[in-house]
Amino acid sequence: MAIGPRPVLEDVARLAGVSLGSASRALSVPELVKPATLERVNRAVEQLGYVRNGSARALASRRTMTIAAIYPSLDNPIFAVSIQSLQQTLWDLGYQLLVASHDYRPEREVGLLRSFVERGVDAVVLVGTDHDDAVFELLSQYKIPYVLTWSVDTSSQRPCVGFSYFDAAFKMAQAVIEYGHTEIALCPGQSYRNERVRARILGTQAALESAGLKLRPEWIIEQPFTFEGGRSAVRQVLGGVQRPTVLICGNDLIAIGAMAECREQNIYVPVELSITGSDDIELANMVDPPLTTVHVPKVEIGSFAAHRVVSLIEGATALEVSPLSTRVVIRGSLRKVT
Amino acid sequence: MAIGPRPVLEDVARLAGVSLGSASRALSVPELVKPATLERVNRAVEQLGYVRNGSARALASRRTMTIAAIYPSLDNPIFAVSIQSLQQTLWDLGYQLLVASHDYRPEREVGLLRSFVERGVDAVVLVGTDHDDAVFELLSQYKIPYVLTWSVDTSSQRPCVGFSYFDAAFKMAQAVIEYGHTEIALCPGQSYRNERVRARILGTQAALESAGLKLRPEWIIEQPFTFEGGRSAVRQVLGGVQRPTVLICGNDLIAIGAMAECREQNIYVPVELSITGSDDIELANMVDPPLTTVHVPKVEIGSFAAHRVVSLIEGATALEVSPLSTRVVIRGSLRKVT
DNA sequence: TTGAAAGCGCTAACAA
DNA sequence: TTGTTAGCGCTTTCAA
C-alpha cells in the first residue's frame, strides 16, 4: 500500500484513467457517474489506499460535517447520557461532534463559540435558552444553524428540543402536596444565567399556591448541581428553627447528596425528611431508599437535537417547538404524611 | 459590522494597507511583525469583524488543531470525568476535541478511526492498549500521533497514560484477604478485547495465590460494566451451592448495582456479603454503605494524556511510560471476617 | 456523463 | 520586516 507521500485525488484519477472531476464525483455523488467509471475509480482508490482530505473538502465545499456542542459540564451524568446519544445520532447522520464545556461559567460560552465559528462548524448545539446576546449575534452573523436543548422557549422563535421545566416542577410539587406535605423546601440549583432553575422555582411556587400554600423564601436554597450542593442544602435546612418535611431537589445529584448528608446526620429518609430529585438518572433507582424523581427524556433530547440540527443545516425552516413530556416517578424517598 | 459576504484575509490586508502575507503573519505569528503593522491589521480585523477560516488554515498548514478521542462510552461516569479534563486541558493548549464512542463494541473502533483520519485530526486518544492491528496500522500509515489511556503497556513502546490494573487488583484483593476473607468472588467486567479486565483477573489471582488461596473459576463472573451487570452477578453468586463472603467488582457501577440487588434480596451488605468496587467515582462515597474501592487517577489521566499527545504532535519522542498510582480506599461495604 | 479549469482562503517559502 | 507567489487537495461550475 501507499509508499511515499499520501496519494491525492489526482493520483486516483490518473490511475483510473479519468479526470479529476470524475474521480471526485465517483466518491461524493456516485449516482452521477457511470457504473463502469465508478468501478475503475473505486479500484484505484483501493489500490492506492487513498483517503480523502477533509480539510480540502471542507474548504472547497464549505461544509465541515462537524457540529459543536457546548455543555455546562461533560461529566454530569444527565448531560453525559445526552451527549452520548447526540454523538451517536450525529455520527449515523454523517457528522462528527466537537465538544466543549464551560464548566458552569456561562460567561465563557461566547469565547468557546467564537473558536468554533473560527474553526468552522456546520451547526451548534447549546444547553438552555438563556445565553448572552453576543452568542446569538455571533450565530446569526455567521448564519450558523443551532438548536437549544433541555429547555424550551415557546416565546421566542428559536429552535429548541427539550421539555418544560415549569411543568416538571409543577407536577413534582403537586405530587409532594398530594402526599400530604405542607412544609416544603426547594433546592433548585443555581439560577444565575439559568432559566431552567428559574422555571423550576416558578413551577414549584405555582403548584404550592394553587394548593393554598406558599414557598418560604428561606426555604429556597440555591446550590450547585452536585452531591456537595445537596449536602449543604440539608445542613442549611436542618439548621433553621423550623424544619420542612420534604426537600425538593433540582436534580438527582443534589438529591442523592442530600440523602447522604441525612444519613450522616442520622436523619431517617423518608420518615424524618422526604427527598425528591429530578431527571431520573439510572442511579436514582440504585440508592437506598430509591429516589422519587421526575423522569426526563435525556436520550431523546440528544437524538432529536441531532436530527433537528442536521435538518436545519440542510435548509429546513424552523419547525414548531413542542415540549417533550416528563413524568413523576414515585419511589421510596417520598413519604406519605398523614 | 460585516455586511454582505464574510470578509477574507485579503480584505483585511487591503484595509490595513499591508500585504496578504503580513496580515497572515500578524494573526499567526504576531511577534514576527512590526508593532505598527500589527496594530493596523488588528484594527482592520476589528473593523471588518474578520474571523479566520479554519478549513483554509488547516489545508494550507496541514494542521487541524483537532484531536479525536474514541471511548467505549461517553456516559460511564469514570470516562466522563476523564473526558472533561481531557477536553479542558486540550482547549487550554489550543486544541479542540472530537469525541466518539464505540459503545463497548471494540470492533467498531477501526471504522471510527478511519473517519477521523479522513477528516484530518492531528492526533488520537484511545482507551486501553488492546486494539485491532488495523488500528495501529492506520495510525502508523498516516503518521498520526496517539496515546493510549487508562492501561499502561510496559512491554510495547506505545505511549500510554494510565495505571497498572494488575497492581490495582492485586492491592484490592490483598486488602480483602487482610480483612479475613477467603471465599472470594470476582466480577471483573468483560474480558473480550479488554486487557484491563484480563489484568484485573490476573492481579486478583496473584494476590489470592500468594496467600495460599485460589480463585474458583465459577466465581469469576463476567458482566457488562453497568449497574445491571452488578445485579446479575449477585444473582449468579447467590444461586450457587456455596456463597462467597465478598464480591470484588471491576468497577463502581457494577459494585453499586450489586449492592442494590442485595438490598432487594434482603442480603445485608457487608454482614452477609462484602462488596468492593474500583475507580472511586464520586458516587462511591454517597451510597449506603459507602463503597470500598480503589482510587484511580481519572482527572490526571485526562490532563496528562492531553499534554502527552500535544507534545507528540510537536515532535517529542516517546517518553518513558510510568504508571500512575492507585490506592485502596476502605469504606463500609467491606467487613472484617473473624 | 465527462473533462477542463477556476477557485475555496489561507500558509509558507522565497526574495527583496 | 515585508511583499510576492505558489500551492494545500478538493468541489463545482461550465461547456462539451
Q: Which sequence spans correspond to the domains of chain B?
A: 9-52, 63-164+298-324, 165-296
Q: Do B119 and A66 touch (CB under 8 A)?
A: yes
- In the block, residue with C-alpha cell 442485595: B262
**A63-164+298-324 has which CATH code?**
3.40.50.2300
Contact B252, B291 (CB under 8 A): yes
Q: Tell me, yes or no, if B84 comes closer than 8 A to chain A by beta carbon.
A: yes
Contact B273, B245 (CB under 8 A): yes
Q: How far from B120 is each of A44, B169, B306, CA to CA, in Å?
A: 21, 38, 18
Q: Which residues of B touch A141 (CB under 8 A)?
A: 1-2, 49
CA-nearest of B219, B220, B149 to B191 is: B220
**pLDDT at residue A2 greater than cutoff 60:** no
d(C-alpha A329, C-alpha A326), whole Å: 10
DSSP state of B303: H
**pLDDT at residue B320 greater than cutoff 80:** no
Query: What is the model's pLDDT at position B198?
Result: 96
Residues in chain B: 338
Give B323 CA → D13 C1' in Å: 57
Reported confidence tier of residue B2, pLDDT bands at 50, 70, 90: very low
Strand C: positions under 7 A of a protein C-beta atom:
1-13
**pLDDT at residue B286 greater than cutoff 90:** yes
Q: Which amino acid is at B258?
A: A
d(C-alpha A280, C-alpha A293), whole Å: 6
Q: What does strand D contact on the protein, if contact means CB under 7 A?
A: A 6, 8-10, 20-21, 24-25, 27-28, 50, 52-53, 56-57, 59-61; B 18-22, 25, 32-34, 36-37, 56, 59-60, 62
Q: Do A87 and B100 touch (CB under 8 A)?
A: yes
Higher pLDDT, A3 or A290: A290
**B9-52 has which CATH code?**
1.10.260.40
Among A residues 117-146, those touching chain B with beta carbons less than 8 Å apart: 117-120, 141-142
Which nucleotide has the least CA–C1' distance to B11?
Answer: C9
First-to-last alpha carbon distance for chain B, in angstroms, is 78
From the list A96, A141, A256, the residue facing B286 with the nearest CB is A256
Closest residue to D2 (CA to C1') is B22
Chain A's closest residue to B116, CA to CA, is A96
Superfamily designation of domain A165-296: Response regulator (3.40.50.2300)
Q: Tell me, yes or no, if A2 comes closer than 8 A to chain B by beta carbon.
A: yes
* A119, A139, A141: best to mutate for the B interface, most B CBs within 10 A: A119
Q: How many CA atoms lie within 13 A of A243 on its CB side?
A: 11
**pLDDT at residue B279 greater than cutoff 70:** yes
Q: Which amino acid is at A172?
A: M
Give A18 CA → C3 C1' in Å: 9
With both helix axes pointing from N to C terminus, report the angle between B298-313 and B77-92 in degrees, rounded to the nearest 10. 40
Q: What is the pLDDT of residues A10-58, one digit of tens each?
A: 999 999 999 999 999 999 999 999 999 999 999 999 999 999 999 999 9
Give B137 CA → D6 C1' in Å: 34
Average of per-residue pLDDT across B128-150: 95
Q: C-alpha cell of B22?
A: 503580513
Report the gap between the CA of A221 and the closest CA in chain B (Å).
Answer: 21
Query: What is the model's pLDDT at position A3?
Result: 53
Report the gap between the CA of A21 and the closest CA in chain B (Å).
Answer: 19
Give B61 CA → D6 C1' in Å: 14
Q: What is the pLDDT of residues A86-95, one digit of tens each?
A: 999 999 999 9
pTM: 0.94
- What angle is formed at CA A113 by the lines to CA A60 and CA B315, rounded to 5 degrees? 70
Q: Tell me, yes or no, if B52 comes closer than 8 A to chain A by beta carbon.
A: yes
Torsion of CA B77, B82, B87, B92, to 10 degrees: 140
CA-nearest of A112, A66, A55, A137 to B53 is: A55
Q: Tell me, yes or no, if A228 comes closer than 8 A to chain B by beta carbon.
A: no
**pLDDT at residue A96 greater than cutoff 70:** yes
Higher pLDDT, A3 or A169: A169
Q: Comparing A9-52 with A63-164+298-324, is the CATH topology the same?
A: no
Q: Which residues of B touch A118 (CB under 8 A)?
A: 51-54
CA-nearest of A56, A24, A108, A212 to B59 is: A56
**pLDDT at residue B321 greater than cutoff 80:** no
d(C-alpha B197, C-alpha A283), whole Å: 23
Q: Pairing mode, if any, of strands B246-249 and B184-189?
A: parallel
